[in-house]
Structure 1
Amino acid sequence: MNIQELEILQALSLSPFVSQRALAESLKYALGTVNKSLRFLISHGYLKLIGKDSERIVLTDKARSVIKSNSPQNAIILAAGYGMRMVPINMERPKGLLKIKGEALIERIIRQLHEAGISEIHIVVGFMKEKFEYLMDKYHVDLIVNPEYAKSNNLESLACAAKYLNNTY
């Protein structure tokens, strides 16, 4: 299965099939690509035609299984840096703990991840790392400390969480 076929399955899992043209427009694919992909997906048992004139296309259990296995299962949030562009706003608390409309930025991200069904969340911290510790109890997240945060960048923080990278937000 190629990326276009997987994206077509994901799109069909979110909204019912209307037409090939509508599907092509929503995904920004050529109509021929959608037509070819749908034929492949039907012939390989990912989609089935229903209705007396086969006017509806629905996902099969095989398709749902592929979508689930290709969906993110965890998330990594990078929150180790100083956030120098925010000075002096963040001199006493890290940027991720700044509140907008009464909610800390990082808590909003965690809430949205939970709403998306993601419960395994790893947060890479460094600057004022102790201020993030309450998140472990409140949201059951994992904190990963980047000891090099002061002299490195986001790639170093991501490297600290490399073992958790696998179909990850």
Structure 2
Amino acid sequence: MPRLTVNDHPVEIALDPRTPLLWGLRDAANLTGTKYGCGVGDCGACMVLVDGEALRSCLITLGECEGRTVTTIEGLSRDRSHPVQQAMVAEQAIQCGFCTPGIVISAAALLARNANPGEAEIKVAIPNLCRCGVYPRLVRAIQLAGRVMRREETLSAAPAPGITVQDAARAVPAMNPTIDQGDPR
């Protein structure tokens, strides 16, 4: 059973060491922020940090992660306060959100190496595919996150995760009036 550190917690994953890290994280550790996209390393939806390096978790096995430190999107920032997360919201660089965790991880790795990347460096360092096509906004978001990391700019916190159905209905009652009437659905 492979032993590794995941999001600052030592874990022993009871799966075959040849299992892709992706499935160890999703199935054994219940960390579902890391997404299965293509399974062959093309899309980047499964990107995680392994010892600080952005890697596709569908291509690295649990055995290859033995003794290493893995950071998933859940471990990057539980309250969405990481500069990349903040900048992605500020620049509206999120559409459907499926690829977002992998992009955030790739961008965080880039900015850890260089907090002032140019557009060309960003395009090379972010191999993630986004079907919604947020690329121009993504470049702006990463540059904004870099400015925040360099303390040249500040951003306010993103809303906390987990809005309830009732809160959402109160915010936009016309969208679902049955919830306002106490319907348990």
Normalising by structure 2, report the TM-score. Answer: 0.21
Normalising by structure 1, report the TM-score. Answer: 0.23
Q: Which has the larger helix fraction?
A: 1
Which structure is larger by alpha-carbon Rg, 1 or 2? 1
Q: Which has the larger strand fraction?
A: 1
